[in-house]
Amino acid sequence: MSDVILDEWGWRDAPALTTDPRRAAGAYFESETHLYKYDFPKGEDLRFYLSYHAMLTVAGRLLGTMTPYQDPEDDRTEFDRWFATFDLAREDRMWVSDARRTVPQDLGHSSRSGRDGWLWEITSGDFVRAFLEEDAWITVGQSAHRTDYRTSDNVFVTSALVDRETGPALVRALQTAPSFNNHRIPLAGDNDFTLNVGMFRLQGWLDHPYSEGGSDRRDEFSTDVRYPTPRPTEWVCKVLGLTPTSNGLNWVQGGSEAPVAVSEAWSLKENGREPRGPDGARLRVTPALLEDLAVKTDRAVILEVRFDRNDESTRNFPRSDDSLGYIDDYVKFFLFTPNNGWRDYRGDPVAR
């Protein structure tokens, strides 16, 4: 790397290597260019800039002359794993910040605003509003967070396909279970919680792919932006004839240009010692798409809404009480079938 910088690029004896012009001009704050091992500094001075590009130059030459090591049980080489830190995180060559959207309204968050009962102020209507929206779109997957001073408010939505005949029994069993922490609504490929035994069928239809690192993750507009976003899995896209749009966030069906599924990510964190603000990601679909999914797979759709609120001022009694015992999250389950629409665990109709 030194030979590349000093000899090939002609920086040997260059005055700027001794006195970085931007550093001499006071462009960097104290410790802004400090780095440790493979960390990236907040401010990139000339030495880091040259070293970074020389490293990639040498890596490229090695890749052209040497065979990268790959474990027989791994799907990619060790070079690919290493280079993922410096490449763009998105495979479509767009930046993570390109997926950033404004914070959606009506996610289900509720500000504490000094109210002592904030942890418990959740109503039945809050669960319905968390997934059935006023514009008729349906949130089928969501991980929404809002952090404030010593408090956090999280709203999760998950869904999967279930056998129509046994689906109502599963919803009743989950809703009346002693705890809401002994199950998981599966994503696609979740073999531990996928069931296919006679009438007992439970299968994920959404993907929430692993989010790897990348150089664009250091972009301030990418801070806490969750990408990849939730999305229909590949076999569902084939069954329903869904095609992703160029931005990788919307899906159209057939020859229509209007999206029938929209994923989005958001983050509006305040900088400071304790980051505060909202962040999250979700997938929304049209009612017509959800019905098409249920019809073409001959399944029902089970959906879970979970509210998880925390207040550090109660950390001495973390979610426990002498009389109540362990205090669980707030969870409700719903079931969709083409003929009956949305129903709760009692079988009662659910509407916004």
Say if CB 352 and CB 342 are below 8 A apart.
Answer: no
> What per-residue confidence (pLDDT) applies to 259?
96
Say if CB 6 and CB 31 are below 8 A apart.
Answer: no
Q: pLDDT tens digits, residue range 180-239?
A: 888 899 999 999 999 999 899 999 999 988 777 788 888 888 888 988 999 999 999 999
Instruction: Report the length, in residues, of the chain.
Output: 352
Q: Burial of 282 by CB count in 10 Å (0-12 exposed, 13-18 middle, 19+ buried)?
A: buried
Between CA 122 and CA 307 the distance in angstroms is 8
> What per-residue confidence (pLDDT) applies to 6?
96
Give the ranges where the chain is alpha helix by DSSP (H): 2-3, 15-18, 21-24, 46-65, 78-83, 124-131, 167-175, 234-240, 287-297
pTM for the predicted model, two decimal places: 0.84
Say if CB 89 and CB 214 are below 8 A apart.
Answer: yes
- Mean pLDDT of the chain, nearest integer: 89
Say if CB 308 and CB 146 are below 8 A apart.
Answer: no
DSSP secondary structure string for all residues of 53-99: HHHHHHHHHHHHHSPPP--TT-SS-HHHHHHTTTS-SSTTS--GGGG
Between CA 155 and CA 132 the distance in angstroms is 14
Q: pLDDT tens digits, residue range 329-338?
A: 899 999 999 9
Between CA 277 and CA 300 the distance in angstroms is 36
